[in-house]
Amino acid sequence: MSPLRAAFGLLTRIPLPTGDTHQLRHAAPWFPLVGLVIGLLLLTEGWLLDRYPAELSALVITISWITITGALHLDGAADLADGLGAAHGDADRLLAVMKEPHIGAFGVVALIIIILTKLVTLASLIGNSDQTPWALALIPAWARLGALTWMQTLKPLGTGLATQCREPINLRIVLRWLVPLAALTAVAVTPLFTLGALLSLWGWQRFLRRRVGGMNGDCLGAGIEYSECAMLGLLALTAGS
């Protein structure tokens, strides 16, 4: 169970013992399960907030979403936005900017867009779609399945945690999560939403391959945030149709 605890310790602020740090190398196959737990926590909170206005519920859920992950993925999204904004096609400059500890204007804009997207889409969905609760539980699992897939299918940039977690993974592990998650999503939400979730993961993989040339922890964190936003947006556009 140490790799599972390591996965929770890496991706969340849930107070669990993380075990030995070397277990991080084996933590990545558990990323989708961590996402599912995050989603179930958000789902439970949504049920508890059912009596309150949708806007207030959306705000509380968005804050909880950020708190549970410790803003880890938002930090990656900000770093990647700053790097892309300053690099102008220079790969070395991109990586150098992403490593800087300060946040720039591009990163601030990325954070605003992500947080507002989650807030607005959640507010529009709460109480307006029977599929929303289950989608809320499954979206974080899909996004972290994306991280598992991206680190397997893209070359690593540098020697950070993303590279360390990449080594023991193979595509069979991805398929073991993908097949049941796709089936569950098709039944609990809609087949169209399942297709949209798959496309959001594929789209980010293509983006990283073409614009960045690989992946690191910031790229994975940004992908988690953007794919969650994409899935929420799709759900909002198709709710009630």
- Over the stretch 17-46, which tens digit does the pLDDT of each residue have? 655 556 666 788 899 999 999 999 999 999
Write down the pLDDT at residue 160: 67
The alpha-carbon radius of gyration of the chain (Å, integer) is: 17
Q: Is the Cβ–Cβ distance between 122 and 192 less than 8 Å?
A: no
The residue whose two tokens read 């880890």 is 72
Mean pLDDT, residues 181-210 taken together? 95
Mean pLDDT, residues 187-208 taken together? 95
**Greater confidence, 1 or 181?**
181
> 3-state SS of 145-163?
HHHHHHHHHCCECCCCHHH
Percent of the chain with pLDDT over 70: 89
Write down the pLDDT at residue 100: 86
Q: Which H/E stretch holds residue 113?
A: helix 105-125
Write down the pLDDT at residue 166: 64
Write down the pLDDT at residue 50: 87
Span 70-112, pLDDT tens digits: 999 999 999 999 999 988 878 888 888 998 888 999 999 999 9
Mean pLDDT, residues 148-176 taken together? 78
**What angle (nearest 5°) sits at the alpha carbon of residue 51, between those of residues 49 and 56?**
55
Q: Is the Cβ–Cβ distance between 63 and 118 less than 8 Å?
A: no
Write down the pLDDT at residue 17: 63
Mean pLDDT, residues 213-236 taken together? 95
Q: Is the Cβ–Cβ distance between 231 and 200 less than 8 Å?
A: yes
- Burial environment of residue 46 by CB neighbours within 10 A (0 to 12, 13 to 18, 19 or more): buried
Percent of the chain with pLDDT over 90: 62
Q: What is the pTM of this model?
A: 0.93
Write down the pLDDT at residue 23: 65
Mean pLDDT, residues 11-15 taken together? 87
The residue whose two tokens read 């992500």 is 114
Q: Indicate if the pLDDT at residue 5 is higher than 90.
A: no
Write down the pLDDT at residue 63: 97
Mean pLDDT, residues 115-133 taken together? 86
Write down the pLDDT at residue 201: 97
Q: Is the Cβ–Cβ distance between 114 and 226 less than 8 Å?
A: yes
Write down the pLDDT at residue 129: 65
